[in-house]
Amino acid sequence: MEAVSAAIGIAVVVLGLGLKSSLRVIRQYERGVVYRLGRVRPQPKQPGPRLLVPLVDRMTKVNMQVVTMPVPSQEGITRDNVSVRVDAVLYFRVIDPIKATVDVQNYQFAMVQVAQTSLRSVIGKSELDDLLSGREAMNEGLELMLATPAVEWGIHIDRVEIKDVALPESMKRSMARQAEADRERRARIITADGELQASQKLAQAASAMDATPAAMQLRLLQTVVEVAAEKNSTLVMPFPVEMLRFFERAAGSHRPSAGPAAEPAPAPGPAPAVAPGPTAVADPARPVAEADGAAPVALEAEGPAGARGSCGTASGGRGGLRPAAVPLGNAYADGDVG
């Protein structure tokens, strides 16, 4: 009797140990992949308590939650030859636990490696401006590159985002100078536009004041009031240009008119005949021309016998050389002397 009770006790203990080793609890976010004698079962175990065959079945739990995995920063050269350092973050989850455990040894490590190589490829195909301003397109391209191997491993890529783009210090300074120059250009354009609008308004105001002279006077008085309000010791009074023009016109109307026009000189008659031989020469001992106000210059004519006669005088004024009766030997010749 004692032997039977001992056997029953041993059986109960063995059964309890077997139930403990074969009973598994699967959480809500997990799935169980069962291997029976080394062969994977076609259907994974769902959440809840599950009973396995002792010493025959082995179960591997696969997490179905979204995994957030940072991609280590990668250094590369962009298409426009700029050295950058880029890091990203990867979000994925397992949709087929059997493929994730059978087709790949460690799906998380595999995803990290694929993400690094894909990130390097994207850096080499892109320009610096695309990395800085077009990150949405870069994220979509990186996600498409990762989705191809991930589907074969039973993994779904939720999203991929580039976190940071590290630039060299020299490139940062160059970009800062470029941004400063662009802002200065825009400031100058805005200033020029304001001056253009102001000039147009001033032109309209000048046209209105020109049509109403009283407006100019009112504006002048307003300017005087503004200057006097600052308690200055010196008051500058602007003088209108129109008043100067008025005085100029008044002075022109009262200017005395010129005398009667001089009568035209009579036409020169025929030159009288001059005896051949004598020529008018200047005395070499006397100056030929002097400044205004100088003494008259006497010219003499040499006759055939060596006699000299007075030909005329050149006054110091603007009269020039006046013709005179020139004694040439026994005859007189009236006329101009060149």
C-alpha span between 131 and 166 (Å, rounded): 10
C-alpha span between 136 and 87 (Å, rounded): 15
Residues in CB range of 123: below 8 A, 6 or more apart? 74, 76, 77, 78, 84, 86, 131
Position 14, amino acid:
V
SS3 154: coil
Strand-pairing partners, residue 73, are none
C-alpha span between 193 and 191 (Å, rounded): 5
Q: What is the model's pTM?
A: 0.51
132 is written with which tokens?
């800085």
User: Per-residue pLDDT for the chain (338 aa), expressed as one digit of tens each?
Assistant: 677 777 777 777 766 666 667 788 889 989 999 998 888 888 888 888 888 887 788 888 999 999 999 998 888 888 888 888 998 999 999 999 999 999 888 899 999 999 999 999 888 888 888 888 888 888 888 888 898 889 889 999 999 988 888 888 888 888 889 889 999 999 999 999 999 999 999 888 888 888 877 887 788 788 777 777 777 667 666 666 777 787 788 887 766 554 444 444 455 555 444 444 444 444 444 444 443 444 444 444 444 444 444 444 444 444 444 444 444 444 444 444 43
SS3 130: helix
C-alpha span between 45 and 26 (Å, rounded): 8
Strand 155-166 relative to strand 83-94, pairing: antiparallel
